[in-house]
């Protein structure tokens, strides 16, 4: 049986490690709490409305009255009746109240966005204690996606002469995070493939389950070169997609391009 690997698309100048929650539309018509008249502090979220009337909207709260002749008095001349002098009339609303204040309150749950965090392994001045602290934070935060890859220097930065991060340490940390968060989205980053020709394949075997093809136009890729010697910058999008598929299949996985929402969102 082949294992499933999610594909994460990179279409803009920078890709995001935060997977956005799917848009959900909810019809808020039921379970409203209604109070006729002004109510002090009813605008506050903590206001206790449990004993208030439960209604469905749209709701005609005037139907409950009181039915009073004085609710709709008006002094008017009905020209259709050839009246020339105004007189007091009623009955336009059947004696129902048609002005006043009413409070409607309801509550609903808003699904949390899927969140992500990560770390760059082997960053300048990074210590083993820093990595341990990062792991503790990831365990407490429990994000839906964790992006982790080795540091690679860029020639136009002050870290140009710093050594690159360790592929082996990155793979070890991928495995640790997979054990900590069994359902997390965990990319095998392009940086792994840049430092090791089979770095991404090794990432899949260490626990990664997301890949990120480069779909940006070739002519624009040099404008956001994050580090030196990045792989796949000269391939067209279709070529990159095909190359990734072959690499993924070589280690027993297959790519799917459906929504890759984390199963952690269901818990």
Q: 38 pLDDT exceeds 60? A: yes
114 neighbors 145 (Cβ within 8 angstroms): yes
Select the more confidently predicted residue: 260 or 115.
115
Percent share of the chain, pLDDT over 90: 37
φ, ψ at 265 (rounded to 5°) = -65, -20
Nearest to 29 by CA among 65, 54, 64, 63: 54
pLDDT score of 17:
31
| Dihedral sign, Cα of residue 62, residue 64, residue 66, residue 70 | positive
Q: 136 pLDDT exceeds 90? A: yes
When mean pLDDT is compared over 24-38, 91-105, 218-232, the highest value belongs to 24-38
When mean pLDDT is compared over 81-85, 240-244, 255-259, the highest value belongs to 81-85
Query: Could you tell me the strand order of the sheet in which 53-55 lies?
Result: 53-55, 32-36, 102-105
pLDDT score of 14:
30
SS3 199: helix
Q: 267 pLDDT exceeds 90? A: no
Select the more confidently predicted residue: 80 or 231.
80
Give the chain's mean pLDDT: 80
Query: Could you tell me the strand order of the sheet in which 3-7 lies?
Result: 210-211, 3-7, 253-256
Return the structure tokens found at 51.
Answer: 């004993």
Q: How confident is the model at residue 262 (pLDDT cuts 50, 70, 90)?
A: confident
How many Å apart are CA 13 and CA 10, to the nearest integer? Answer: 8
pTM to 2 decimals?
0.58
């Amino acid at each position: 049986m082949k294992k499933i690997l999610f594909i994460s698309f990179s279409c803009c100048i920078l890709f995001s490690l935060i997977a956005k929650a799917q848009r959900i539309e909810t019809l808020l018509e039921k379970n409203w709490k209604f109070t006729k008249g002004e109510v002090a502090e009813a605008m506050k979220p903590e206001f206790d409305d449990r004993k208030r009337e439960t209604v469905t909207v749209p709701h005609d709260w005037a139907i409950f009255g009181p039915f009073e002749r004085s609710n709709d008095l008006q002094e008017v001349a009905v020209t259709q009746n050839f009246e020339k002098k105004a007189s007091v009339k009623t009955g336009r609303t059947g004696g129902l109240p048609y002005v006043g204040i009413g409070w409607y309150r309801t509550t609903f749950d808003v699904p949390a966005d899927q969140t992500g965090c990560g770390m760059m392994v082997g960053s300048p001045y990074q210590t083993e204690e820093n990595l341990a602290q990062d792991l503790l934070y990831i365990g407490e935060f429990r994000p839906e996606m964790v992006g982790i890859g080795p540091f690679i220097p860029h020639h136009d930065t002050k870290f140009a002469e710093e050594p690159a991060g360790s592929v082996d340490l990155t793979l070890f940390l991928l495995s640790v995070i997979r054990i900590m968060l069994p359902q997390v989205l965990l990319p095998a980053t392009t940086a792994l493939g840049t430092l090791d020709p089979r770095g991404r394949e090794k990432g899949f075997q260490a626990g990664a389950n997301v890949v990120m093809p480069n779909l940006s136009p070739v002519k624009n890729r040099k404008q956001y070169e994050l580090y030196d010697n990045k792989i796949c910058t000269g391939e067209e999008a279709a070529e990159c997609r095909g190359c990734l598929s072959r690499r993924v299949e070589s280690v027993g996985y297959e790519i799917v391009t459906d929504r890759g929402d984390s199963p952690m969102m269901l818990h």
